[in-house]
């Protein structure tokens, strides 16, 4: 039975990694084409349009380097998290150490966010540079088994390199938004003329007009497409992290109970925002908050995650992609 479960988990991890790599590859191709179309629309020449492609790549590389080496620090600063030692929260430290040993990963840095809303997240670029953060509300409202389930979930994100994928996708989303905003603002201030010369009687001028229209449509839709893609990856990886957490902690009940408490809590996590919401174990922005309007869900429904975990608790094997659970023989 255990061997079968291990094989199932490995298959899920491999499938989700393949899907994520495919989505990122599609995203990179989209940004490259997007940059070229904007260059053509702005400069009116297919050769000079390579400048737009080069600009998109430069912006992406610069944003990528900054985010890769300092992204975790920016997230922690935005969350107003403070690093702690074993003496500050011995139970939390012991649980993280247990999950670090169970996963075979280095001990991550541990941070606390002083907020009464229960939640947690992991960040960093790899297991050697990982950080887990929990709110003070999580420590107050969860028992040890539930805390262990949450930490197993966060260490699963580290083990599965979800923290790196989240960072990479965030870079791509940010690059798309920057390029779109730059183009639309430039087009507005230039009166729709762009930076090139249009030949009113030539096919080149007509082609540039067509490219301007295409570029405007893409500039409006691209950020939406990028955001949907980011959320798609985030939701897949939450299911996977839940499944991996069960393997680490050997206690699906702890994580299921924790998710129910987190989901049912009415406290508002003030430091959460749209840029960091996808990092948390559960969506920190509640439906009743004004800032939730127009915000796509960054997580699969907690009810669905709990249902899968309860099936595992009862001795079943549940798919981590939202499919119906099936009992083992």
Which residues are annotated as catalytic? 154
Q: What angle do CA 22, 28, 32 make, to 5 degrees?
A: 145
Residue 115 structure tokens: 């907020």
d(CA 75, CA 90): 24
Q: Which helix (H) or strand (E) holds 110?
A: strand 109-113
DSSP state of 108: P
DSSP line for 124-179: ESSGGGEEEEEEHHHHHH--HHHHHHHHHHHHHHHHTTHHHHHHHHHHHHHHHHHH
d(CA 285, CA 263): 11
DSSP state of 278: G
DSSP state of 279: G
């Amino acid at each position: 039975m255990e061997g079968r479960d291990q094989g199932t988990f490995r298959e899920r991890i491999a499938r989700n990694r393949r899907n994520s790599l495919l989505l990122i590859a599609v995203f990179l191709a989209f940004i490259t084409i997007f940059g070229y179309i904007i260059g053509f629309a702005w400069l009116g020449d297919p050769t000079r349009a390579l400048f737009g492609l080069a600009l998109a790549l430069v912006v992406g590389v610069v944003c990528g380097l900054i985010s890769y080496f300092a992204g975790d620090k920016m997230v922690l600063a935005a969350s107003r998290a403070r690093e702690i030692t074993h003496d500050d929260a011995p139970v939390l430290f012991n649980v993280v150490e247990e999950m670090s040993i169970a996963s075979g990963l280095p001990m991550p840095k541990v941070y606390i966010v002083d907020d009464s809303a229960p939640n947690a997240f992991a960040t960093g670029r790899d297991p050697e540079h990982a950080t887990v953060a929990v709110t003070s509300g999580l420590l107050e409202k969860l028992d040890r088994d539930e805390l262990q389930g949450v930490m197993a979930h966060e260490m699963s994100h580290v083990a599965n390199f979800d923290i790196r994928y989240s960072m990479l996708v965030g870079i791509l989303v940010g690059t798309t938004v920057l390029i779109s905003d730059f183009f639309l603002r430039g087009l507005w201030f230039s009166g729709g003329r762009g930076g090139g010369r249009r030949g009113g009687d030539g096919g080149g001028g007509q082609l540039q007009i067509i490219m301007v229209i295409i570029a405007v449509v893409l500039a409006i839709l691209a950020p939406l497409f990028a955001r949907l893609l980011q959320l798609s990856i985030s939701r897949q990886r939450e299911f996977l992290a839940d499944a991996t957490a069960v393997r680490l902690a050997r206690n699906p009940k702890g994580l299921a109970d924790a998710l129910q408490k987190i989901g049912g809590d009415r406290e508002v996590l003030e430091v959460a925002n749209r840029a960091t919401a996808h990092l948390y174990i559960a969506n920190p922005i509640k439906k009743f908050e004004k800032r939730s309007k127009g915000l796509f869900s960054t997580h699969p429904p907690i009810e669905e995650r709990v249902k899968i975990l309860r099936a595992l608790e009862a001795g079943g094997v549940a798919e981590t992609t939202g499919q119906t659970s099936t009992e083992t023989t």
